[in-house]
Amino acid sequence: MFHKEGHKIILVTFTIVAITCVLAHFYIEPIWLEKSIQAIALIFLVLILQFFRNPKRKTTPNDSHVIAPVDGKVVVIEEVFEKEYFQDKRLQVSIFMSPINVHVTRYPIGGKILFSKYHPGKYLVAWHPKASEENERTTIVVENKVYGKVLYRQIAGALAKRIVNYAKEGDMASQGADAGFIKFGSRVDLYLPIGTNVNVILGQKVKGGVDIIAH
């Protein structure tokens, strides 16, 4: 199953690859060069297909839990000053996504969407300390009555050229539901209340919509 954000790119890529393979068959010699070009084209298609895959995830809703919004590796767990929305200290948990990870963003908690804002910006590598403030990004805040407010931020990386965000202020979010997509490399930051019980450690790989980040 592929994410809807990739349908157009997949179709264009498939068409280009098919044309390339046909042209190589009729016009490229020797045979080893023809086969090499076709193999490279097919590998490129496979990479595009795996990038836009959208596996079904079974989320068990729990208003006391914050679940991983994306697949990837936990690269930051620290107290920081969040100055865009909360303007106070929060516990930041950041998940880095490599190009081979699933890039679907899912709502970490269910509840009302209080804030959703897009920021144009740079394309520093996603692990750069200033990426959270200078890169292209979106900031979303969701609140439920049990856990409170959770902010998550989609951040473009060096390869990412478009962030898709479905969250709209005033709408109700379902925990684990599709919240957007980041095309080609990125990271997501979570900002949680101080004192939150974190359920992950640095370097841990997590699965979006499934693994519990905090409770």
Instruction: Give Cα separations from 168 to 109, 134, 138 (angstroms).
Output: 15, 23, 12
pLDDT at 45: 92
Domain boundaries defined on the chain: 4-51, 66-214
Give pLDDT, residue 71: 94
What pLDDT does 184 receive? 65
| pLDDT at 142 (0 to 100) | 97
Which pLDDT score is estimated for 3? Answer: 76
How far is it, in rounded angstroms, from Cα 200 to Cα 190? 13
* Residue 26, both tokens: 């009729």
Instruction: Look at residue 128 in the predicted model and tell me its pLDDT.
Output: 58
**Which tens digit of pLDDT belongs to each residue from 153-198?**
998 865 656 788 999 999 999 999 999 988 766 889 999 999 899 9
Give residue-wise pLDDT tens across range 81-99.
999 999 999 999 999 988 7
Residue 179 burial by Cβ neighbours in a 10 Å radius (0-12, 13-18, 19+):
buried
- pTM assigned to the model: 0.85
- 3 or 192: whose pLDDT is higher? 192
Checking if the pLDDT of 127 tops 70, the result is no
Tell me the sheet residues that pair with 82: 88
Computed on alpha carbons and rounded to an integer, the radius of gyration of the chain in Å comes to 19
Alpha-carbon gap, residue 39 to 129, rounded angstroms = 39
Does 182 or 140 have the greater pLDDT score? Answer: 140
Q: What is the average per-residue pLDDT within 116-133?
A: 70
Whether residue 64 lies in the annotated active site? no
* Catalytic residue from among 94, 116, 132, 186: 186
CATH class held by domain 66-214: mainly beta
Torsion 138-139-141-147 (CA) sign:
positive
163: which 2 tokens?
Answer: 């962030």
pLDDT over threshold 80, residue 122: no
